[in-house]
């Protein structure tokens, strides 16, 4: 009896139920953990994503859907299934945006409205990836859901694919989006250096003007009025920012930007990782999506930098083209990369606050791109 019980317990462990695909995904999960822990590449995202990926490939039942057996008894689903449902309802992506808004100073964008143009230019990769995806055999809705990866905005990617009814692509799209967000410090600098001269990278920009409290309070209200199609995302972003700027709800701002934000990151990250079972993830379509995401991200970075060069010429050298790369919406990492590359050319150069303008504009720009696709497909 004891031997039989031990034998049953032994065969319930993962090592007796894995195939080659599971081992591949476990290796990928361990690699993500290595990047997050050893090199600190966006660990707040990569650690939960990687561990969710690890768990679902060891214990698939953790993502099992609820069911009713032949005897009419109802069985609950796996833990991560319910986390994943919150993603499908767009609850977690919207709450993430509230936290981002509560943490982010929109002052640099308000002080330098030209940042909106650079944020828009950095969405070039999204639209190019859409046409590439069509060419590679995806239908219109699939192509739109895939292309938004180029905005380096995981919550918007999840929001759009659910709105377009492409939940079957959740795993590869979400992992690609969050992975490229984490790899911004690796992917962007070569593109930025390739498209700019050392002289351009050394350009020092004038200090931004001081933005009044009234301007900061009015900004989120006005933006909500002009971007109705993506209200769940932009509305929560602006609500979080209003918490920050109005000055009378400090407790709400602290909760949105700290405790709530980190709780949602855990739920969102683990559920995204848990959508990458070997069966769902290891196929040709996934490889295409990962490739298209990289193409979109590279061209998005290039679009922002190239417009930065144009504006540099138009303003007679008053704008450093490097800040255009921050137009992808990985806040605030893309702005930090602009600062880092600029400081490599001139250690006394300080571009961070200037880059935050296009960075925040990129968040709004990606939401606009998502709204455009929703309008095209009548969502």
Higher-confidence residue of 38 and 330: namely: 38
pLDDT band at 163 (very low <50, low <70, confident <90, very high): confident
CA distance 158 to 166: 10
Give per-residue pLDDT as tens, 217-263. Answer: 999 988 888 766 666 788 899 999 999 999 999 999 999 999 999 99
Q: Which two tokens stand for residue 154?
A: 């995981």
The span from the CA of 304 to the CA of 195, in Å, is: 11
Whole-angstrom distance, CA of residue 188 vs CA of residue 158: 23
| % of the chain surpassing 90 pLDDT | 43
Q: Is the pLDDT of residue 80 over 70?
A: yes
Predicted pLDDT of residue 7: 66
- Provide the pLDDT for residue 11: 60
Q: Which residues pair with 67 in a beta bridge?
A: 75
Query: What is the structure's pLDDT at 102?
Result: 94
At residue 76, φ and ψ (nearest 5 deg) are -70, 155
Residue 16 has pLDDT above 80, yes or no: no
The winner for highest mean pLDDT among 65-74, 91-100, 173-182, 245-254 is: 245-254
pTM score: 0.85
Statement: residue 98 has pLDDT above 80: yes
Question: If pLDDT is split at 50, 70 and 90, which confidence band does 356 have?
Answer: very high
On the question of pLDDT at 130 being above 70, the answer is: yes
The pLDDT value recorded for residue 89 is 76
Question: 213 or 80: whose pLDDT is higher?
Answer: 213
Does the CA dihedral 213-215-220-222 come out positive or negative? positive
Three-state SS sequence of 262-301: HHHHHHHHHHHHHCCCHHHHCCHHHHHHHHHHHHHHHHHH
Strand 67-68 to strand 74-75: parallel, antiparallel, or no bridges (unpaired)?
antiparallel
- Output phi, psi for 165, to 5 deg: 70, 35
Residue 288: pLDDT over 80: yes
Please tell me what DSSP assigns to residue 168: G
Q: Give the C-alpha separation, 130 to 145, whole Å.
A: 8
pLDDT tens for residues 166-178?
888 888 888 888 8
Give the dihedral of Cα atoms 56, 62, 64, 68; nearest 10 deg: 160
Cα-Cα end-to-end distance for the chain: 59
Residue 1 pLDDT:
62
pLDDT band at 312 (very low <50, low <70, confident <90, very high): very high
Is the pLDDT at 323 greater than 90? The verdict is: yes
Q: Mean pLDDT across the stretch 160-164?
A: 88
**Neighbour count for residue 94 (Cβ, 10 Å):** 22
State yes or no: pLDDT of 187 exceeds 70: yes
Average pLDDT of the chain to the nearest whole number: 87
What does the angle CA 231 – CA 365 – CA 113 come to, to the nearest 5 degrees?
110
Q: What is the C-alpha to C-alpha distance for residues 377 and 310, in angstroms, rounded to an integer?
A: 34
Mean pLDDT of 339-357: 92
DSSP 312-350: HHHTTS-S-GGGGGGGSS-TTHHHHHHHHHHHHH-TT--
- What is the radius of gyration, based on Cα positions, of the chain? 22
Does the pLDDT at position 10 exceed 80?
Answer: no
Tens of pLDDT along 261-285?
Answer: 999 999 988 988 888 888 878 888 8
Q: What is the pLDDT of residue 142?
A: 93
Whole-number Å distance between alpha carbons of 366 and 239: 18
């Amino acid at each position: 009896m004891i031997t039989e019980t031990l034998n049953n317990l032994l065969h319930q462990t993962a090592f007796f139920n894995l195939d080659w695909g599971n081992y591949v995904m476990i290796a990928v999960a361990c690699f993500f953990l290595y990047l997050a822990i050893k090199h600190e590449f966006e660990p707040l995202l990569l650690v939960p994503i990687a561990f969710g990926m690890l768990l679902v490939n060891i214990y698939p039942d953790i993502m099992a859907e609820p069911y009713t057996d032949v005897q009419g008894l109802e069985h609950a689903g796996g833990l991560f299934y319910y986390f994943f449902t919150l993603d499908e309802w767009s609850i977690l992506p919207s709450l993430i945006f509230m936290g981002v808004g509560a943490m982010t100073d929109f002052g640099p964008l308000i002080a330098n409205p030209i940042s909106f143009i650079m944020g828009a230019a950095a969405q070039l990769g999204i639209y190019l990836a859409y046409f590439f995806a069509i060419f590679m055999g995806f239908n219109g809705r699939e192509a739109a859901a895939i292309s938004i990866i180029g905005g380096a905005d995981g919550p918007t990617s999840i929001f759009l694919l659910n709105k377009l009814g492409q939940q079957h692509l959740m795993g590869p799209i979400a992992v690609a989006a969050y992975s490229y967000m984490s790899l911004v410090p690796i992917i962007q600098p070569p593109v930025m250096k390739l498209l700019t001269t050392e002289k351009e990278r050394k350009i020092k920009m004038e200090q931004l003007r001081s933005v009044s409290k009234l301007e900061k309070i009015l900004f989120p209200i006005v933006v909500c009025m002009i971007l109705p199609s993506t209200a769940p995302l932009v509305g929560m972003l602006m609500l979080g920012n209003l918490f920050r700027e109005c000055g009378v709800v400090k407790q709400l701002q602290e909760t949105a930007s700290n405790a709530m934000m980190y709780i949602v990151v855990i739920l969102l990250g683990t559920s995204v990782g848990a959508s990458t079972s070997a069966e769902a993830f290891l196929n040709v379509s996934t490889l295409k999506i990962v490739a298209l995401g990289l193409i979109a991200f590279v061209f998005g970075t290039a679009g922002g930098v190239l417009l930065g060069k144009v504006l540099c010429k138009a303003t007679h050298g008053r704008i450093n083209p490097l800040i255009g790369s921050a137009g992808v919406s990985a806040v605030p990492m893309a702005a930090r990369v602009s600062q880092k590359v600029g400081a490599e050319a001139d250690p006394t150069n300080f571009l961070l606050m200037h880059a935050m303008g296009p960075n925040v504009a990129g968040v709004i720009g990606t939401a606009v791109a998502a709204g455009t696709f929703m309008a095209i497909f009548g969502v």
